[in-house]
Amino acid sequence: MELALNRVKISLSDAHTCVAVALSKLVIVVILVSGVGVDSLGINYGQIANNLPTPDKVVGLVKGIGASKVKLYDADPKVLKAFAKTGIQFTVSLGNEYMSQMRDGKAALDWVKKNVECHLPDTNISCILIGNEVLTFNDSTLTSSLLPAMQNIHAALVSLQLDSKVWVTTAHNLAILQASYPPSAGAFRSDLGGCLTQILNFNAKTGSPFLVNAYPYFAYKASPLQVSLDYVLGQGQGGVLDPGSGLRYDNMLLAQVDAVYAAMGPSFSKRVSVQVSETGWPSKGDPDEAGATPENAKKYNANIIKLIKQRQGKGTPMRPYCDLNIFIFALFNENMKPGPTSERNYGLFKPDGSPAYSLGFPAIQAVANTSSDGDTTPDTDTDTPTSTSPSSTGYLAISFATVSRYFSFF
């Protein structure tokens, strides 16, 4: 759940401004709260659901929360067309199931023409993600296809003279780390070292970031009696001291990012930036999912937004001069995601545009979810996934491997 995406910054008004956004079946009122301005907020827009508003109705919502960056799990043309001329930066994704095809240069060129070039410059596409958490699927075919796919997609951008505008990279699960505590002792898994070195060489050569999906929630869920909830939520008092570096951390997410920097080593950590492509907290979970509550989700995401605002240009304790770009997961609750209840409850909003819980930045309230003929569209229960086909098959194909998502930082 963040890239060259720091080029465009959209700020929220300081005043008590009310912006009415009329949507045919979705009407929301966005109330901008005094003193809450968020720079470079990124949001993951997933679509594993059968009750989400159409993309044209999501534009006002994204603008209303002050997000300047959106990450897709595919290259949905409906979404990209809906956001044309908005200035919002987009990351599009090539699903895992297509990577082996991209070993062919012509296929890569065709994909870029069809999914990226045709939307430029109206839609501000600034990054292409090749696969999602590929290395932790332990699939040799996927792993062997990753770098060639990245290289061929980049070569296609070069041939179209788009490489200076669009980056190519991939997103990693934190399970690529063999050691993560203390952050200064961060190390990659020995079996992935060769692959990661090649990817980092690609990142360094092309100027693209190294992306990680980082979820402190899973550390707490795995060991709620040992891990401080305040520290995981990003509100640790006094912080945790790294005895190796002498640096102090009051936020586990920053510690996770610095563990990746340490694993990269000096040859890469000063040339390649680490950015957070996903992070979030579920507002609901099963009985054995400790901490999955609206209160904790509110605290975590509010603290992430505060972190984004406060640390612009300040980076992390280990890399204070590197931009820290973060994408929150996710925009909506997605009622068709498989797995435990938490998987369907990461959204900041319900499908009708009402907040899943209140946040201290723009308060967004659903005024109506009624069509012009008076019919009401109910919000589908998010505790159990339905079997209806999803609106975005690309997202399904690159969703998390269940086991790897439960990687614990400690």
Catalytic residue numbers?
Answer: 133, 278
Count other Cβ atoms within 10 Å, centred on residue 6.
22
